[in-house]
Each structure stands twice: as structure tokens, then as C-alpha cells.
């Protein structure tokens, strides 16, 4: 279960890795904040459209997040009830970065801690000209982000094929303000809609993922992740 959790958290990290650079306003949802003390996207990142230029990928870049998870039980005609919940902290650190013509490979160490327990894994991501992919170890791969980013853009696991609703579809909602312990960030908001849940992610070009939430459609796992420091 913990390795599955780490895999989801790591996928989230790179999925946002490429949440693009630039755009217009739009979208809403939580976490959000007022216009007070908003950290704007640096102008230098608003015109870039290459994955490796939108993310700090060199060692020892580190992101630390607070993580809260609940398991919800569906109840007919009533709101879901909380069966269990826990909180912890997730730390992601770039340990190696290998760049070649037209692509790059990034190794990210993911350490998750809760109640004195610790678990760690290392994930390998491939950055291509217009996308970021997560190899599955069996010769296949999952596209977790596709460029160029623009409000309303959609893609599935393979951006060259129509999005498959039974697997899930990524949608660029627009720009939003995410409120986290590390600050209030102007960011790109993305949504991943699948039959069992909807995943929301807030990404800041030049910084990375600052927040993420998963909302189950009818019972299941709900969680929230917020940037603490970087």
C-alpha cells in the first residue's frame, strides 16, 4: 500500500513537472487564496515551452510537502463517511540528471514519513521534446504531460491518440492561485478526470508542483498535498 502511495505521489510530481509555462486565467477550486501576497509566475517562464526549462531538475533540488489522506466510505443518499485518516510528510529530491540531444533522464528520490515510519523509492522519468513520460519497466510508458500547454488542452496516456475516458483524461483548466504553507502561488491548474476520482494539481513554472488534491467520486481515497519548502 505504501509503495502504491509513493508511486502516486511520484507520478504527481512529474506530471506537474511539465505543467507548462505561460497562459491565461481561469479555473477555480481549492486550495485557493485571496489576491494578498500572491507570488506571480516569473516572466522568464511565461514564454518557455520545453519541459526541462520549466522545472528545476538538477541535484540536490528538493521539495517537501505535507500530506493528508482519508479513506471515505460511500453511503446511499448521504455524504461519504471517513473510515480512517493519517498525515505525514513527503520529500522529493533530484539525485541525478542526464541530458542528451532531444531528451533527458531524471532520477528523483521520494521519501515518505508518518508516525515514525519511513519509506523510500527512486523514480526515473524521461523528458522528451514535447512530453514527460514514466517508463513502466516492461517496455511501455505513460505520458504524464504534453506540450505546449494552453488553457483547455486535453490529453490521455498517448497524446497522439484520442483521450480514453476509462483510463483518465488530463485537462488544463487555466491559472489559479494555490495557498500553501510555502506561500500563495499563481499557478497552472490541471485536472485528471477518471471514473473513480478527479485529481487536481497546481504547478508553478520554474518551481514545480505546489499543491495536489484527489477527490473520489463515490467513496475511496481522498488526499491533499501542499508544499512546505523547496
Question: 8: helix, coil or strand?
Answer: helix
* pLDDT given at position 35: 53
| Full set of structural domains in the chain with CATH | 2-229 (2.40.360)
Residue with cell 541535484: 59
Q: Between 73 and 200, where is the model more confident? A: 200
Q: What's the CA gap between 90 and 9, in Å, rounded?
A: 8
* pLDDT given at position 227: 96
Query: Could you report the per-residue pLDDT of 64-85, keeping only the tens digit for each?
Result: 999 888 887 777 666 666 666 7
Which pLDDT band, with edges at 50, 70 and 90, does 176 fall under?
A: very high
Cell of 117: 515510519
Which range, of 35-39, 129-133, 163-167, 170-174, averages the lowest pLDDT?
A: 163-167
* pLDDT given at position 27: 39
Query: Could you report the per-residue pLDDT of 41-60, keeping only the tens digit for each?
Result: 777 666 555 667 677 788 88
Cell of 150: 494552453
Check whether 132 has a pLDDT greater than 60. yes
Q: Between 167 and 162, where is the model more confident? A: 167
Residue 6 makes CB contacts below 8 A (sequence gap 6+) with: 110, 112, 119, 120, 121
* pLDDT given at position 103: 79
Which range, of 111-120, 141-150, 158-167, 204-213, averages the lowest pLDDT?
A: 158-167
DSSP-derived pairing of the beta strands 131-135 and 103-114? unpaired
Which pLDDT band, with edges at 50, 70 and 90, does 160 fall under?
A: low
Amino acid at each position: 500500500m505504501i509503495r502504491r502511495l509513493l508511486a502516486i505521489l511520484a507520478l504527481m510530481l512529474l506530471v506537474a513537472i511539465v505543467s507548462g509555462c505561460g497562459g491565461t486565467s481561469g479555473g477555480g477550486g481549492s486550495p485557493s487564496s485571496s489576491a494578498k501576497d500572491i507570488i506571480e509566475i516569473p516572466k522568464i517562464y511565461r514564454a518557455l515551452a520545453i519541459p526541462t526549462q520549466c522545472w528545476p531538475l538538477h541535484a540536490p533540488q528538493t521539495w517537501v510537502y505535507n500530506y493528508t489522506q482519508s479513506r471515505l466510505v460511500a453511503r446511499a443518499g448521504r455524504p461519504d463517511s471517513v473510515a480512517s485518516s493519517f498525515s505525514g510528510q513527503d520529500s522529493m529530491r533530484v539525485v541525478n540528471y542526464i541530458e542528451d540531444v532531444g531528451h533527458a533522464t531524471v532520477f528523483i528520490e521520494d521519501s515518505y514519513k508518518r508516525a515514525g515510519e519511513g519509506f523510500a523509492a527512486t523514480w526515473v522519468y524521461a523528458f522528451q521534446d514535447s512530453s514527460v513520460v514514466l517508463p513502466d519497466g516492461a517496455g511501455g510508458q505513460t505520458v504524464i504531460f504534453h506540450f505546449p500547454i494552453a488553457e483547455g488542452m486535453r490529453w490521455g496516456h498517448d497524446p497522439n491518440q484520442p483521450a480514453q475516458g476509462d483510463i483518465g483524461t488530463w485537462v488544463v483548466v487555466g491559472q489559479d492561485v494555490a495557498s500553501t504553507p510555502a506561500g500563495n502561488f499563481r499557478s497552472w491548474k490541471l485536472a485528471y478526470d477518471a471514473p473513480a476520482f478527479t485529481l487536481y494539481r497546481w504547478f508553478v513554472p520554474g518551481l514545480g508542483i505546489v499543491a495536489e488534491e484527489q477527490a473520489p467520486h463515490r467513496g475511496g481515497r481522498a488526499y491533499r498535498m501542499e508544499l512546505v519548502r523547496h
